[in-house]
């Protein structure tokens, strides 16, 4: 079993629960957006902006974006620990895995910061 400080939890059960909870949040977000689009007679920029200017939708969108970040991190961490190993990459696997994980963290953080800027920026 691979354990690293960069894992979200200490065991696979917690990671599995994180994956399930974030999947439910993302599914509900998709259902709400799809329902909203289908219920609109005419979807204009003003209608769409009105939806995303409401505080509840901004919070829901931020929750969905955070869920994407957590879901992606658990998945990417699992891929990194499963496939970036000494068996495939020799002695440099630990360094390569560290670089891979840092790149994943930076990309996810940039995504979340960008989302916050879009939601509450000017």
Q: Is residue 102 part of a domain?
A: yes
Q: Give residue 43's domain range.
A: 12-120
The closest alpha carbon to 5, from 72, 105, 84, belongs to: 105
Q: Is 84 exposed, middle or buried (0-12, 13-18, 19+ CB in 10 A)?
A: buried
Residue-wise pLDDT for 15-35, tens only, equals 999 999 999 999 999 999 999
CB atoms within 10 A of CB 74: 21
The response to whether 83 counts as a known ligand-binding position is yes
The total number of structural domains that make up the chain:
1
Q: Is residue 85 part of a domain?
A: yes
Q: Are 80 and 104 in contact (CB under 8 A)?
A: yes
Q: Report the CATH number that the domain containing residue 28 is assigned in CATH.
A: 1.20.1300.10
And the tokens for 76?
A: 């990417």
Measured in Å, how far apart are the chain's first and last C-alpha atoms? Answer: 46
pLDDT at 7: 58
The response to whether 45 counts as a known ligand-binding position is no
**What is the 8-class DSSP label of residue 5?**
T
Give the model's confidence band at 85: pLDDT under 50 very low, under 70 low, under 90 confident, else very high: confident
| pLDDT of 112 over the 60 cut | yes
């Amino acid at each position: 079993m691979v354990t690293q400080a960069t894992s979200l939890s200490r065991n696979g059960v917690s990671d599995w629960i994180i994956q399930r909870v974030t999947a439910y949040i993302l599914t509900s977000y998709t259902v709400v957006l799809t329902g909203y689009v289908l219920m609109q007679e005419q979807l204009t920029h003003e209608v769409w902006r009105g939806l995303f200017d409401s505080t509840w939708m901004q919070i829901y969108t931020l929750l969905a974006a955070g869920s994407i970040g957590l879901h992606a991190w658990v998945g990417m961490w699992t891929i990194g620990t499963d496939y970036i190993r000494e068996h495939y990459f020799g002695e440099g696997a630990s360094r390569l895995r560290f670089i891979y994980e840092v790149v994943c963290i930076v990309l996810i953080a940039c995504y979340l910061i960008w989302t916050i800027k879009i939601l509450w920026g000017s």
